[in-house]
Chain A
């Protein structure tokens, strides 16, 4: 789109740019608000029938690289009469100025007010974005509560993994979509288009009803929640006859038919990831019991080696990125990952293009792949995720890695030239005792000892990185109690002492961890019900913003808000977090269908407590988790037997703009 038509588009529809521009010299990193990125699309407002504002509810630098938003943005903008623009959470410095000057929440492309769009879609990767949702709704001039909105306001749709339990934000959003978004946004667009063309019959209520009737869009206002005297949920039922009892997740089959992003957005400002990212498969059946992503994205659907190769080639040419990320929940598990890595490494040898594979598998094969990918000589660091410190706890969480495997793998990395290895663990897992966590120190010591012996060098390091466990809906741990922050923090302190108990080994071990408090609040939000909405609102009113950022997060603010609001419902913070649920309890998300059979999840939870491991259905027979039959899907894996062919040389000189005759 040329500069001239950009300006024309701006003047045709309302833009807040003139007011916003005045504020930008007074805020930090103003470039994040100006738009103008490669891949950004500015369309004429009037020529679009359906208009979407898409948001990732965090700062631009975090939100821009988000794959989900980029894919939906591109899919929607490919339709000639549909317009999609992006908006991100503004930092408190700009928020203050916008409130003072009356500037509403705006999109970055054409700086249009979010309140003017038909649909406002927000993608939640984590529940800690909920307060930012409220800021955006409020700055947009939209009533905070769904019930208070009129036909003049956008329909607010939540998506992303957190939308598998949208109950805590049920008062604030109008609808939620479970599962893969690319087909869902098209279906919603179609419904809105038809409804508008008919002259918007029945207003907002009718539109929401039409969305609900798809059985894959959840409209919270059409469901009532009844509670038992002890605070537990009695039942969640539709409050009108024509909406479904359960809402089902969407699954996009055949990823080769959806090769997005084709035109990734390349920011002018610095962001957390600056790379061309391609999903090589979706779904995971490794069955790690803590992993919500692995549970709710089943079954495994691979993108073929040839589609991946083509996407990488086109994506790099379009974007100019020099880093490629081959993403998935466990990338080494792709049936043709070996050929894919060696093929890509060969194609880009000597070009300064670097390839990365987020590695979680702990085995020698992973190192072979890493070696292929680092042909150009850079061996910066490898990450392995044993997740649990003791053999016992790894059985509880179904992360099937033996100590022997781990040490052998890490030593192989050291002997192949890597000097730095990162090991990722969790703290606060179900049934965990101090001893399970202290085993992490012993493992790290063994790794360094074995590494020194094998390489004959003291110049090797490992970093132990600890994340807090948060039980998530639709996982076998959805019934588990959380550990209290003070217990977690004490374990982390004991672990630090244990690592440094041996000075010589401790010097070679880095230690990073997060405090227990943010995890507890994430747990409150992830397994919360509709009553938690009042807590979120209270925190937000007290200034809560950017809860995913340690410098902005205030544990006390959440504790105070919970203490203020929850007793009115006969429950408290502990009830939501450190309480174990029983099998018969109705969970807030039971009416939302991820495909997983609740009885199977319960059995897997019981297996976990008896330290019984569950295999992966890609390589062993089906274990009846329930997803394929209930969603009418099946595993899609290769091998295709195809190979990546060498590319024609990449540096063929200047790429001249069309029409210059060069």
Chain B
């Protein structure tokens, strides 16, 4: 923000903090093409200029794709699901397909994960709305000469959060699916989930909007 000269607003108090809030940030170790954040500003700024200035100062691999003026309601209220793509190098697509079917057929799939509060057991099934093994269109990055199943899964934001690794734990529970090398997960989209199971861009409502005040850039970093 400082390098880009963004007139960011600060909180009051003894240690003022810049007003930046991230909506459902991707967990460490996964890639993302759809991250969103809100910035509070001291004065209005042209969204396109803000996008260009921030994009120019960020590290390679972190790209700012769009910025809009924030309308009413918080960004978090508009994000209730994510679409993930998970590559499983070394896993035959048919094996993955059977595991996904077993997962979808279950009414509950309990998995466990270490959290800051300790080991927690929770359901990974209910949050999953769609789950497919997609047909391979191109060779996934860094994989040559081995089969590679590619999963696409839409997961609702719930508490405790269900992450791609939890869904994979679920596949292990229902079908003993054990990827031979670490899977690669990428968040493809996040936003409002429609009745049809589509994810709507959370900035859509504000595009061409005329709201005054806070502006809200969309950041879509590709995190390695």
Interface residues of A (CB under 8 A from B): 1-3, 6, 18, 21-22, 24-26, 30-31, 34, 36-38, 268, 316-322, 352, 378, 651-657, 660, 662
Contacts and interface: CB of A to CB of B under 8 A. Distances in A.
B188 interface: no
Nearest to A656: B53
Interface residues of B, number: 28
Interface string B97-136: 0000000000000000000000000000000000000000
Given A22-B181, A662-B52, A31 B14 contact: no
A3 B2 contact: no
Contact of B29 (A25, A316, A651, A657): A25
Given A22-B181, A320-B1, A38 B28 contact: no
Contact of A651 (B5, B10, B50, B182): B5
A33 B62 CA distance: 16
B224 interface: yes
A654 B29 contact: no
Given A37-B59, A318-B3, A378-B15, 10 more contacts: A1-B60, A6-B60, A26-B182, A36-B61, A320-B1, A320-B57, A653-B5, A654-B6, A655-B3, A657-B55
B142 interface: yes
B2 A322 contact: yes
Interface of B: 1-7, 10, 14-16, 28-29, 45, 49-50, 52-53, 55-57, 59-61, 142, 181-182, 224
A1 B60 CA distance: 9
Nearest to A378: B14
Nearest to A5: B60
Contact of B4 (A6, A31, A652, A654): A654
Contacts of B181: 22
Contact of A662 (B7, B28, B49, B60): B49
A3 B60 contact: yes
A223 B6 CA distance: 59
Given A30-B28, A320-B3, A653-B7, A38 B59 contact: yes
Given A3-B60, A31-B28, A652 B5 contact: yes
B10 A352 contact: yes
B53 A21 contact: no
Contacts of B7: 651, 653
Given A24-B29, A653-B7, A352 B60 contact: no
Contacts of A18: 142
Which 3 A-B pairs have CB atoms at the shortest separation, nearest pair first? A657-B56, A320-B2, A320-B3
Nearest to A24: B29
28 contacts: A2-B60, A3-B60, A3-B61, A6-B60, A18-B142, A25-B29, A30-B29, A38-B57, A268-B59, A317-B3, A320-B1, A320-B57, A322-B2, A352-B10, A652-B5, A654-B6, A654-B45, A654-B49, A654-B50, A654-B53, A655-B3, A655-B57, A656-B56, A657-B52, A657-B53, A657-B56, A660-B52, A662-B52
A605 B148 CA distance: 71
A390 to B, nearest CB: 37
B224 A654 contact: no
B182 A22 contact: yes
Nearest to A23: B182
B200 to A, nearest CB: 29
A348 to B, nearest CB: 12
B224 A21 contact: yes
B183 to A, nearest CB: 9
A317 B57 CA distance: 11
A657 B181 CA distance: 41
Contacts of B45: 654
Nearest to B15: A378
Most chain A CB within a 10 A radius of its CB, from B2, B3, B15, B52: B2
A21 B184 CA distance: 10
B60 A34 contact: no
Contacts of B142: 18, 21
Contacts of B50: 654
Nearest to B50: A654
B59 A352 contact: no
B3 A319 contact: yes
Given A320-B2, A320-B57, A656 B16 contact: no
Contacts of B4: 654-655
Nearest to B58: A38
Contacts of B10: 352
A484 B159 CA distance: 55
Contacts of A322: 2
A146 B168 CA distance: 48
B59 A654 contact: no
Nearest to B181: A22
B15 to A, nearest CB: 8
Contacts of A31: 28
A652 B7 CA distance: 9
A655 B57 CA distance: 9
B3 A656 contact: no
B182 A352 contact: no
A316 B5 CA distance: 12
B46 to A, nearest CB: 8
B168 to A, nearest CB: 12
Nearest to A651: B7
Nearest to B60: A3
Contacts of B16: 352
Nearest to B56: A657
Nearest to A653: B5
B29 A655 contact: no
B188 to A, nearest CB: 19
A378 B14 CA distance: 7
Most chain A CB within a 10 A radius of its CB, from B4, B53, B57, B60: B60
Contacts of A318: 3
A562 to B, nearest CB: 39
A317 B28 CA distance: 30
Nearest to B222: A3
A26 B59 CA distance: 24
A651 B8 CA distance: 10
A506 to B, nearest CB: 27
Contacts of B2: 316, 320-322
Contacts of B55: 657
A22 B10 CA distance: 39
A2 B2 CA distance: 21
A652 B4 CA distance: 11
Given A30-B28, A320-B3, A378-B14, A36 B53 contact: no
Contacts of B29: 24-25, 30
Nearest to A22: B182
Contacts of B60: 1-3, 6, 36
Nearest to A658: B56
A3 B222 CA distance: 12
Contacts of A25: 29, 182
